[in-house]
Structure 1
Amino acid sequence: MATVVQTMQISSTAHACLALSPSLRASLCRSGEGFVKVERVKLPDTSTAHVDMNLSLNKCEQECLSDCNCTAYSSANETMGEFGCLKWYGDLMVTREYSDLGQDLYVRVDAIDLARYRKKSTFVKKAMVALSVSALLLLLLGSLMYCRMLKRKRADRRGRNPLASVTTSSAYFNDLPGLKDLNSEGRQKNDLPLFDFKTVAAATNNFSSVNELGQGGFGSVYKGVMNHGTEIAVKRLSKYSGQGNEEFKNEVRLIAKLQHRNLVKIIGCCIQEDEELLIYEYLPNNSLDSFLFDDTRRSLLNWEKRFEIAYGVARGLMYLHQDSSLRIIHRDLKASNVLLDVALNPKISDFGMARICGGDQIEGKTKRVVGTYGYMAPEYALQGRFSIKSDVYSYGVLLLEIITGQRNNGCYHMSPFCNLIGHVWELWKEGKCTDIVDRSMDNAYSEEMVLRCIQIGLLCVQRYALDRPTMSTVVFMLGNADVLLPSPKQPAFIDESARQ
């Protein structure tokens, strides 16, 4: 309910006018009179009002103004729009005003008071305009000062002279273990070169759209060719990217230290003024999703090649979790982050969201949940807890996509579940898992091995992290067909009531 103010707070002019008797009103009726709008009031007693539903509000004002005994008018019903007229004659009893309800009432005043009211109204409007303009100017000034400060910081950090980029980059990476020191040739201790921006721009034909390989939340990736003929892929961080300096430095810090046949190889980086670039080996077959989810190219992936891809990704993740010098949790494993070389061998890419766990630590927690829905484990998506088991969950989703050629976030109309995991789980319990296998393989696969891989995928996407296997166990299960597998428990994000 609106707050009711027992005394209507309108101008003294309006109060005086309401108290006038009809005879006195008639004696004062002369040229120049008009009406003051009193907003959101309880209308006077309408039993004495004259009603004409055929008059518009403008016509109602004209008739009331021409009649010296008419003391006020209003819309008969505001919900009816412009039509419906209420006119009052004689004394008005108006006692209440509402903050957000009520109806507008137009009260008659003489020429002098009307002029005073209009002057006051004009002053208020001018004051509001002046305040709005001042606020806008202050906002623009603040924005300009912030931009200048940000530009100065970037200039101080990276240097304006391209020849100084190596020195500036050294300071830029001061907080990254193993990436602090640069020698005179612009190479870091781990042999990661720092490229000049002009060199990278020339290699990509000034980042031509013809050379663009793809886009992501970070920006765009371009193909380039160096002077000596080496093909490269350049990841250019957009100024408007959802990723920032921390993700950029995180990727350099991690991937520069990693060496594995199933991880993408970084060649160097470039940090110069507003530009942040990562230079990778060029992989001609782009990403796995460009094959799996393309009606034409998916037929190029027979069962043997799909298994090799799944096995290679599993070995890459196992290396990150336990065999590398750092224990790394990727946090964004998905089909688009698995790149394929000329022989369709898989390489895990995009370490901008990855996290390092020290020593025997296998779990962490964050308030900033990043990644791709559909691949995110429930404990990470809902509680921000990430671990090696959240990567295992993502791998399980990817494995099921490799087998079926379908995205996890697709909707399956013949199933009560609106994701791939739920659909596979339903078929698994019914013993019909071969119904979901990608038909583009034309049944040219080992049914026993396909069912085994589906079971491994379901083991990886179990609801509780403790129930999921480690990646070393997954690699062992994939590589040893004679090992008996446990039965999977219910997957995450499955509501059994959907079957009712």
Structure 2
Amino acid sequence: MNLLSCFSLLLIMWVLSNTLFSAIIDARSEPLIPVPSISEQFFVAERIPSSQFPIKMEAEPPGESEIRVVHHHDLNEKILIALIVASSLLGGILLFLLFFWIYRQKKLKNSNKKSRKSLEAAKGISMNPIMVKFDSLRMANSKGSLAIFDYPSLVAATNNFQESNHLAEGGCGHIYKAHFDEKLLAAVKRIDGVTQDMEREFENEVNWLSKIKHQNIIKLFGYCIYGDSRFLVYEMMEKASLETQLHGPTQGSALTWHLRMKIAVDVARGLEYLHEHSHPPVVHRDVKSSNILLDSNFNAKLSDFGLAVTSGTESNNLKLSGTMDYVAPEYLLDGKLTDKSDVYAFGVVLLELLTGRKPLENLAPAQCLSIVTWAMPQLTDRSKLPMIVDPVIRNMMDLKHLYQVAAVAVLCVQTEPSYRPLITDILHSLIPLVPNELGGSLRVKEPTKPVCPGPSN
């Protein structure tokens, strides 16, 4: 029973009690029937049976007699007093509930007004349908609620987006290092000149990352909307992206064989969560080395969910998106999108980790060669396989482990989607290749015997 129902019930009881009170007062105002004299009462008593006789005779000392008449006057007064007290109590309770209800409504109204003003100030613009959607999402998802950053705080944290704080340039924006305080170090992605497609991807990113929580998926702290610019505030990933580590200035020198296998396992775990444990299941649709970020301990996390969709979404309604070097053939040619599309992209990443090559190599101004086309003939030839391994790790792995990784990669990049394994099966194949201390099940008792180095590329 809510407050309004209780209020109505007490109002009815108060009205009834006051009606009864009024009826009693009216009854008392009528003239009383005169009491007959003692002699009349005596003769009347002779005609009335003793069971109905209203006069009580009490024993008195000899020579004295008194007849006492008992009336209902005292009883009526007690009832009247009780009704007055009850009516007063009900009236008091009713007034208390009325004032409490008014107070609650006023407080709720002020709270909503204050929240809306705060939200508008944080975003720097007036509310519109997308803002309402974001605010509803934040309120509905209390466990993983996102912070709404105001623009001045982002300016202060990035030192007005100084070049010295510039970390990287993404597909649709720039990423800056941000110091909000001594404890919170974050990465701010700035997107300027937002188009309709960018707006849709921004909304998609906020939507998915407010729901998805996993150790191998990037954490989104919050967002900011300011004019035509959009800002996303992520956890800091000190080692940048896998693409930077493999194809940047260091050319993969910091990535040992075991670290590369750990990264592969981390990515597979993130994809397994999306495909098998997320409700609803999710297809990332843009798995690539630049969207795999590494923290200070080389823990890998999937990022950039702007193109992610619910598994089973009709691909006819989806615009062909993603990076061509990682796009599965069936999606590129026929528009068919499933979780096996992510598996294909994972296979390309696995080949990058294995060979150290880019997914698409420029052989001539008008000629490119994909890593899949180049590697496939050699992956299945055990005599040639060691020759295509990245020279940085060529002497670090066991040959059996190399064969196993090559076999997994071959299955992932099969042209026919049904031939590709599930991401769960891939994960179970790779975990035994990663040492215990790095999150796998491999027990390393002594250094592995190096593979005979082949000629470098």
Q: For residue 165 of structure 1, what is the amino acid of its counterpart?
A: K
Looking at structure 2, the residues matched to 297 and 418 of structure 1 have their Cα atoms a distance apart, in angstroms, of: 20
In the alignment, is residue 172 of structure 1 matched against residue 130 of structure 2? Answer: yes
Aligned counterpart, 2:121: 163
CA contact (8 A) 1:234 1:278 kept: yes
CA contact (8 A) 2:237 2:296 kept: yes
Q: Tell me the TM-score normalised to structure 2 length.
A: 0.63
Give 1:423 deviation, angstroms: 2.1
Mark the CA change 1:309 to 1:260 in structure 2 (over 3 Å): closer, same or farther: same
Give 1:278 deviation, angstroms: 0.6
CA contact (8 A) 1:331 1:354 kept: yes
- Give the number of equivalent residue pairs: 315
Counterparts of 1:19-30 in structure 2, within 5 Å, are none
Q: For residue 276 of structure 1, what is the amino acid of its counterpart?
A: R
Give 1:229 deviation, angstroms: 3.8
In the alignment, is residue 424 of structure 1 matched against residue 372 of structure 2? Answer: no
Q: For residue 282 of structure 2, what is the amino acid of its counterpart?
A: I
Mark the CA change 1:175 to 1:438 in structure 2 (over 3 Å): closer, same or farther: same
The 10-residue stretch of structure 1 (323-332 or 164-173) with the greater mean CA deviation from structure 2 = 164-173
The 10-residue stretch of structure 1 (270-279 or 389-398) with the greater mean CA deviation from structure 2 = 270-279
CA contact (8 A) 1:366 1:385 kept: no
Aligned counterpart, 1:301: 255
Aligned counterpart, 1:287: 241
CA contact (8 A) 1:179 1:189 kept: no
Aligned counterpart, 1:225: 179
Counterparts of 1:291-330 in structure 2, within 5 Å, are 291-294=245-248, 296-330=250-284
CA contact (8 A) 1:160 1:272 kept: no
Secondary structure class of the residue paired with 1:473: helix
Looking at structure 1, the residues matched to 169 and 340 of structure 2 have their Cα atoms a distance apart, in angstroms, of: 28
CA contact (8 A) 2:274 2:281 kept: yes
Looking at structure 2, the residues matched to 433 and 412 of structure 1 have their Cα atoms a distance apart, in angstroms, of: 21
Looking at structure 1, the residues matched to 324 and 223 of structure 2 have their Cα atoms a distance apart, in angstroms, of: 29
In the alignment, is residue 210 of structure 1 matched against residue 164 of structure 2? Answer: yes
The 10-residue stretch of structure 1 (291-300 or 368-377) with the greater mean CA deviation from structure 2 = 291-300
Q: Tell me the TM-score normalised to structure 1 length.
A: 0.58
Percent identical among aligned pairs is 35
The 10-residue stretch of structure 1 (209-218 or 456-465) with the greater mean CA deviation from structure 2 = 209-218
Give 1:447 deviation, angstroms: 1.4
CA contact (8 A) 1:284 1:341 kept: yes
Secondary structure class of the residue paired with 2:233: strand
The structure, 1 or 2, with the larger RCO (C-alpha pairs under 8 Å, 6+ apart) is 2
Aligned counterpart, 1:373: 324
Residue by residue over 1:231-266, the C-alpha shift from the partner in whole angstroms, topping out at 9 and shown as x without a partner, is: 110111120568421100100000111111111100
Give 1:299 deviation, angstroms: 1.5
Counterparts of 1:31-46 in structure 2, within 5 Å, are none
Looking at structure 2, the residues matched to 201 and 240 of structure 1 have their Cα atoms a distance apart, in angstroms, of: 19
Which residue of the other structure, out of 257, 266, 269, is the alignment partner of 2:220?
A: 266
Aligned counterpart, 1:339: 293
Which residue of the other structure, out of 189, 205, 220, is the alignment partner of 1:251?
A: 205
Looking at structure 1, the residues matched to 376 and 159 of structure 2 have their Cα atoms a distance apart, in angstroms, of: 49
Q: For residue 373 of structure 1, what is the amino acid of its counterpart?
A: M
Which residue of the other structure, out of 321, 336, 340, is the alignment partner of 1:389?
A: 340
Secondary structure class of the residue paired with 1:418: strand
Mark the CA change 1:162 to 1:299 in structure 2 (over 3 Å): closer, same or farther: same
Q: For residue 220 of structure 1, what is the amino acid of its counterpart?
A: H
Residue by residue over 1:152-197, the C-alpha shift from the partner in whole angstroms, topping out at 9 and shown as x without a partner, is: xxxxxx9999626399568425446960638xxxx96632111111
CA contact (8 A) 1:159 1:272 kept: no
Give 1:211 deviation, angstroms: 1.1
Mark the CA change 1:378 to 1:169 in structure 2 (over 3 Å): closer, same or farther: farther
The 10-residue stretch of structure 1 (365-374 or 324-333) with the greater mean CA deviation from structure 2 = 365-374
Mark the CA change 1:375 to 1:159 in structure 2 (over 3 Å): closer, same or farther: farther
Mark the CA change 1:430 to 1:417 in structure 2 (over 3 Å): closer, same or farther: farther
Give 1:472 deviation, angstroms: 0.9
Give 1:428 deviation, angstroms: 2.8
Which residue of the other structure, out of 391, 395, 404, is the alignment partner of 1:452?
A: 404
Secondary structure class of the residue paired with 2:387: helix
Give 1:464 deviation, angstroms: 1.0
Q: For residue 294 of structure 1, what is the amino acid of its counterpart?
A: G
CA contact (8 A) 2:238 2:296 kept: yes
Secondary structure class of the residue paired with 2:204: helix
Give 1:412 deviation, angstroms: 6.9
CA contact (8 A) 2:186 2:236 kept: yes
Looking at structure 1, the residues matched to 419 and 213 of structure 2 have their Cα atoms a distance apart, in angstroms, of: 30
The 10-residue stretch of structure 1 (458-467 or 289-298) with the greater mean CA deviation from structure 2 = 289-298
Counterparts of 1:50-61 in structure 2, within 5 Å, are none
| Higher alpha-carbon Rg | 2
CA contact (8 A) 1:363 1:387 kept: no
Query: What is the Cα-based RMSD across aligned positions, in Å?
Result: 2.9
Looking at structure 2, the residues matched to 453 and 339 of structure 1 have their Cα atoms a distance apart, in angstroms, of: 21
Q: For residue 284 of structure 2, what is the amino acid of its counterpart?
A: H
Give 1:411 deviation, angstroms: 5.0
Looking at structure 2, the residues matched to 475 and 286 of structure 1 have their Cα atoms a distance apart, in angstroms, of: 24
Looking at structure 2, the residues matched to 209 and 242 of structure 1 have their Cα atoms a distance apart, in angstroms, of: 28
Secondary structure class of the residue paired with 1:386: coil
Looking at structure 1, the residues matched to 193 and 424 of structure 2 have their Cα atoms a distance apart, in angstroms, of: 39
Runs (5+) with no aligned partner, structure 2: 1-115, 434-457
Q: For residue 452 of structure 1, what is the amino acid of its counterpart?
A: Q
CA contact (8 A) 1:318 1:471 kept: yes
Secondary structure class of the residue paired with 2:137: coil
Looking at structure 1, the residues matched to 350 and 413 of structure 2 have their Cα atoms a distance apart, in angstroms, of: 10
Q: For residue 244 of structure 2, what is the amino acid of its counterpart?
A: S
Secondary structure class of the residue paired with 1:260: coil
Give 1:281 deviation, angstroms: 0.4
Aligned counterpart, 1:402: 353
Looking at structure 1, the residues matched to 410 and 196 of structure 2 have their Cα atoms a distance apart, in angstroms, of: 32
Aligned counterpart, 1:239: 193
Secondary structure class of the residue paired with 2:279: coil
CA contact (8 A) 2:214 2:270 kept: yes
In the alignment, is residue 197 of structure 1 matched against residue 155 of structure 2? Answer: no
In the alignment, is residue 476 of structure 1 matched against residue 434 of structure 2? Answer: no
Mark the CA change 1:244 to 1:442 in structure 2 (over 3 Å): closer, same or farther: closer
CA contact (8 A) 1:406 1:420 kept: yes
